């Protein structure tokens, strides 16, 4: 198109660059945008960025002499580690920072963490080990998910500016009797009433009885029969409100997250796709109208198609909200 001025042309070019880098999905990037893959560093932090030592330099080799010049009983000197750098084979829990991109979708080691565009530009802290990942902003934990990281992944994160982490940002509450439990039923909106507060558990838990473990800072919703961890939320209750709760009892063992994939059903659209956790999965037009079974894990989406298993890499961090293929009818839809 023709532009009337250089400024108008520059504005159009800038808009195209923003769409290409932050909005338009790229097939080569697993349908992500380039902005999802890179975390910009604020200008005020660039001048104070320290030197990051690669993991392969975590050990400083000692000067060796030829084998013929060494006495047979000479002991090999122990390598001296570089201070502040973790070795890959010693990596435990790791803490590191990332900046939320404009899209609000932050990626760490192949997994996406949806934080929303409203948090774009904020620096978030990750506490991670091989079991759990906690996300914190300004010291407050905002999200906890099961970890997809291996020991090698943690070593790489440590080598890229991470550091050895302290204890997890969750209160223990087991040895001093500070943790309690109650049983509640989640309403149709996914809320639970506790001490005059309406606390969001999850919409998918609507109508279900759950146990609630109450620690100083967190509420852990779990299945009462299996003690499977379902959701973790911040605790809005004061100590006095906790003591007045109906059915309060001392807490049992901490609930643990389930490792098996979540099983859901989806109906294939007319163009041969299904939507799972806000991720579009293409199955092909021959399956249009069929209801398929989908197994959703933290990293993969597995579809059972006429006895054939198709595994798709998961690209979102959105939890499962709908298990059935069809939503229930509203009252207004019933004649």
| Residue 197: predicted pLDDT | 92
Statement: residue 66 has pLDDT above 60: no
| Residue 258: predicted pLDDT | 67
Region 192-221: what's the mean pLDDT?
A: 90
Q: Which of 82-91, 182-191, 244-253 has the lowest mean pLDDT?
A: 82-91
What are the φ and ψ backbone dihedral angles of 28, each rounded to 5 degrees?
Answer: -70, -15
Q: Which of 86, 81, 34 is nearest to 61 (CA)?
A: 81
What is the pLDDT of the chain when averaged over all its residues? 77
Q: Which of 20-29, 38-47, 189-198 has the lowest mean pLDDT?
A: 38-47
Say if CB 99 and CB 123 are below 8 A apart. yes
Predicted confidence band at 260 (pLDDT cuts at 50, 70, 90)?
low
Strand 228-234 versus strand 256-257 pairing type: parallel
The enclosing H or E element of 18 equals: helix 6-18
Higher pLDDT, 128 or 83: 128
| Residue 261: predicted pLDDT | 75
Instruction: Report the alpha-carbon distance of residue 204 to residue 211 in Å, rounded.
Output: 15
Q: What is the pTM of this model?
A: 0.33
Q: Which two tokens stand for residue 151?
A: 């020991």
Higher pLDDT, 322 or 302: 302
Please tell me whether residue 66 adopts helix, strand or coil conformation. Answer: coil
Predicted confidence band at 19 (pLDDT cuts at 50, 70, 90)?
confident
Instruction: Report the alpha-carbon distance of residue 128 to residue 111 in Å, rounded.
Output: 13
Statement: residue 183 has pLDDT above 90: yes
Higher pLDDT, 15 or 71: 15
Q: Which of 42-46, 160-164, 177-181, 305-309 has the lowest mean pLDDT?
A: 42-46
Instruction: Report the alpha-carbon distance of residue 328 to residue 62 in Å, rounded.
Output: 69
- pLDDT tens digits, one per residue of 21-40: 877 877 777 677 777 776 66
Predicted confidence band at 175 (pLDDT cuts at 50, 70, 90)?
very low
- pLDDT tens digits, one per residue of 264-301: 889 999 999 999 988 999 998 999 999 999 988 878 89
- pLDDT tens digits, one per residue of 135-171: 888 777 777 777 888 888 888 888 888 888 888 876 5
Statement: residue 60 has pLDDT above 50: no
| Residue 85: predicted pLDDT | 46
Q: Which of 104-118, 171-185, 263-277 has the lowest mean pLDDT?
A: 171-185
First to last CA, the chain: 53
Statement: residue 46 has pLDDT above 90: no
For every residue of 91-158, DSSP letters joined together read: --SEEEEEE--TTSEEEETTEEEE--GGGTT-EEEEEE-SSEEEEEETTEEEEEEE----HHHHHHHH
Higher pLDDT, 77 or 259: 259
Spacing of C-alpha 55 from chain mean position: 24
């Amino acid at each position: 198109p023709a532009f009337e001025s250089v400024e108008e042309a520059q504005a159009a070019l800038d808009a195209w660059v923003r769409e290409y880098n932050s909005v338009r999905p790229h097939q080569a990037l697993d349908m992500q945008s380039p902005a999802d893959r890179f975390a910009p560093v604020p200008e005020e932090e660039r001048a104070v960025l320290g030197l990051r030592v690669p993991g392969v330099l975590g050990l400083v080799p000692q000067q060796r002499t030829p084998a013929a010049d060494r006495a047979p009983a000479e002991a090999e000197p122990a390598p001296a580690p570089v201070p502040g750098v973790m070795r890959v084979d010693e990596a435990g829990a790791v803490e590191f920072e990332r900046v939320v991109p404009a899209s609000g979708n932050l990626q760490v080691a192949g997994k996406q963490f949806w934080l929303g565009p409203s948090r774009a530009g904020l620096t978030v802290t990750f506490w991670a080990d091989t079991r759990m990942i906690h996300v914190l902003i300004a010291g407050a934990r905002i999200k906890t998910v099961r970890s997809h990281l291996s020991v090698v992944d943690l070593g790489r994160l440590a080598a890229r500016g991470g550091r050895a982490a302290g204890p997890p940002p969750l209160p223990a509450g087991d040895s001093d009797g500070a943790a309690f439990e109650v049983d509640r039923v989640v309403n149709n909106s996914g809320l639970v009433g506790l001490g005059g507060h309406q606390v969001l558990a999850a919409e998918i838990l609507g109508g279900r009885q759950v146990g609630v473990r109450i620690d100083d800072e967190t509420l852990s919703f779990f299945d009462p029969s299996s003690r499977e961890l379902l959701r973790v939320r911040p605790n809005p209750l004061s100590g006095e409100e906790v003591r007045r709760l109906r059915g309060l009892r001392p807490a049992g063992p901490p609930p643990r997250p389930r490792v098996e994939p979540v099983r859901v059903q989806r109906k294939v659209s007319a163009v041969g796709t299904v939507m799972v956790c806000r991720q579009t999965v293409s199955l092909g037009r021959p399956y249009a109208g069929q209801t398929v079974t989908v197994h959703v894990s933290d990293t993969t989406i597995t579809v059972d198609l006429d006895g054939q298993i198709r595994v798709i890499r998961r690209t979102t961090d959105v939890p499962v909200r709908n298990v059935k293929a069809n939503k229930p009818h509203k009252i207004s839809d019933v004649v």
